[in-house]
């Protein structure tokens, strides 16, 4: 049985980056879940339509604007 040693590179994920990424994904999921719960009046107050809210709430947690990805 042979053993292959793997070298870590600057592209490898660190535990800190994984945790941060997971925290961001959870925050996105919660925000979109909360958005989906708003009624038409609350959506009007923030300037979006129910259709826009529905479309945003249905996005995957990894589907975020590039500026959020750091």
Kindly list the domain boundaries of the chain, sorted by start residue. Answer: 18-62
- Give the pLDDT confidence score for residue 69 in this predicted structure: 67
7-11, 42-46, 65-69: range with lowest mean pLDDT: 7-11
For 6-19, the pLDDT digits (tens) are 454 556 678 888 88
Mean of the pLDDT values across residues 7-33? Answer: 82
Q: How far is CA 23 from CA 28, 30, 56, in A?
A: 9, 11, 19
pLDDT higher than threshold 50 for residue 1: no
Buried b (16+ CB within 10 A) or exposed e, 35-51: beebeeeebeeeebeee
């Amino acid at each position: 049985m042979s053993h292959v040693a793997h070298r870590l590179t600057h592209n490898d994920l660190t535990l800190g980056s994984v945790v941060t990424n997971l925290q961001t994904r959870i925050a996105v999921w919660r925000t979109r879940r909360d958005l989906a719960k708003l009624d038409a009046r609350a959506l009007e107050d923030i300037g979006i339509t129910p259709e826009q809210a529905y479309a945003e709430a249905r996005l995957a947690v990894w589907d975020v604007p590039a500026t959020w990805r750091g």
